[in-house]
Amino acid sequence: MPEKRADSTLEIRDLNVSFIQGEKEANALRGISLSLKRSEVHSLVGESGSGKTVTSTCVMGLLPTPPARINTGEIILGDQDLLLLGEKDRREIRGKDIAMVFQEPARYLNPTLKVGDQITEMLILHLGMEKSKAVDRALEILELVGLKGGKRVLDSYPHELSGGMKQRIMIAIAISCNPSFLIADEPTTALDVTLQLQILNLMLSLKNTLDMGILFISHDLRVVHDISDWISVIYAGRIVESASRETLFADPKHPYTKLLFESIPDADKRGKRLQTIPGKVPDAENIPGGCAFHPRCPIAEEICRTSQPETKDLAINNRAESHTAACHFIGKQWKN
């Protein structure tokens, strides 16, 4: 095992990203702050178009600029700001210190290369291993991600593997250099429930054995509930609420979070109408002024239309844990 580095936090501060297309400017991220700790699963939940994937690709340094433009923000790993680094230094970090698992493994594996070569490529490039040593290490990694069959799997092409196996290969590639942080962008959305559970279990056990921090991106609140230590809810490019899993599920404060929870169908709600959120997620080109959620919010008042709410920390003094929400009327009740 390679030696561990000291960077135990990944901090995203006030990240603001827009996409420029001709005259139009789409403000995809409007001040995202997240703080990840080693050996914690931090989930980013939101609907499509809310900026989840932009956040993850920006952290990985994979955002094409242009059309994207990073207006403000810092991404701090250990003690260096990744956004200030040049492309060459970013390449050193990408895959080695921060690795990524994508939603559709079939699209991100190279169909013309054996999966063994795709795993050893990382080891040779980042850790300077010799080919034969890299193969031995790749076999160890396969075992770690629960793929039996060793050499035979290394010698197969992606199309010869099932969806679940491909996702395991993606994870194997991601963890090959023993990264401090793993970004998982909807890693189980394309999988069946039974496979999903296996992959979630695998990620949790790898997190413990390798002592990684995971940024888990998902739209599925139930999956997030199962896997997370900490949850941040994103809406229209802003974090609207952030708290530990227990706190967030027991006591959501932002109306968007509350409504999201209530709109999930399950057996207990049989015969009752589901709570809905009227309207849809605004697209990044015309985000409503003030609080972006106000057109869909049941408790919106005049102030919500004009001024953007500050993110407030609701933690009571004697509790160490923070619970932040961005709303003018935190905790206000409403009738359906």
Partner 1 sequence: MEKLIELKNINKVFKSHKLISVKKDDYVAVDNVSLDIKKNTVFGLVGESGCGKTTLARSVMFLDPPTSGEILFDGKDIAYLSGKELKLYRSRMQIVFQDPNSALNPKMSIYRCMKEGLVNRRYPKDKIDTRIEELLDLVGISSSYVNRYPHEFSGGQKQRIVIARALSMEPEFLVLDEPVSNLDVSIQAQIINLLLDLKDKFSLTYLFISHDLNLVSYLSDEVAVMYKGQVVEIAETEEIMKDPLHPYTLKLFSSAPGKNSVELFEADESYREGLPDGYTYFPPESDSFLELIDTGEGHRIGCYALNG
Residue numbers of the site for partner 1 (CB under 8 A)? 47-48, 192-194, 196-198, 200-201, 204-205, 219-223, 225-228, 259-260, 263-267, 269-270, 273-278, 280-281
Question: What is the distance, to the nearest Å, from the Cα of residue 271 to the centroid of all Cα atoms in its chain?
Answer: 34
Distance CA 16, CA 281 (A): 19
HSE of 18, CA atoms in CB hemisphere, 13 A:
15
Q: Which is nearer to partner 1, 103 or 228 (CB)?
A: 228
d(CA 256, CA 270): 22
By CB atoms closer than 10 A (0-12, 13-18, 19+), residue 86 is exposed
Question: Based on CB atoms, which residue is closest to partner 1, 77 or 233?
Answer: 233
Residues in the chain: 336
At its nearest, how many Å lie between partner 1 and the CB of residue 11? 24
- Give backbone dihedrals phi and psi of 101, rounded to 5 degrees, phi first: -120, 130
User: Is the Cβ of residue 118 or residue 228 nearer to partner 1 in the bound state?
Assistant: 228
Residue 80 or 201 with smaller CB distance to partner 1:
201
C-alpha 75, offset from chain centre: 14
Q: How far is the CB of 276 from partner 1 (least distance, A)?
A: 5
CB of 198 vs partner 1, minimal distance in Å:
6
**Nearest distance in Å: CB 166, partner 1:** 14
Q: Least CB distance from residue 141 to partner 1, whole Å?
A: 21
Nearest distance, CB of residue 26 and partner 1, angstroms: 16
Nearer to partner 1, 223 or 304 (CB): 223
Find the DSSP H helices in the chain: 52-60, 87-93, 105-108, 115-127, 131-144, 150-154, 163-175, 193-210, 221-227, 245-250, 255-262, 302-306
CA 250 to chain centroid = 22
Q: Are 153 and 115 in contact (CB under 8 A)?
A: yes
- Least distance CB 295 / partner 1 (angstroms): 13
Complex with partner 1: residue 29 or 227, whichever CB lies closer:
227
- C-alpha span between 256 and 277 (Å, rounded): 8
Q: Please say which residue, 82 or 202, places its beta carbon nearer to partner 1.
A: 202
Instruction: Give the type of residue at 22.
Output: G
Whether the ω angle into residue 282 lies within 30 degrees of 0, i.e. cis, is: no
Q: What is the CA radius of gyration of the chain?
A: 21
- Shortest Å distance, C-beta 129 to partner 1: 32
270 vs 335 by CB, closer to partner 1: 270
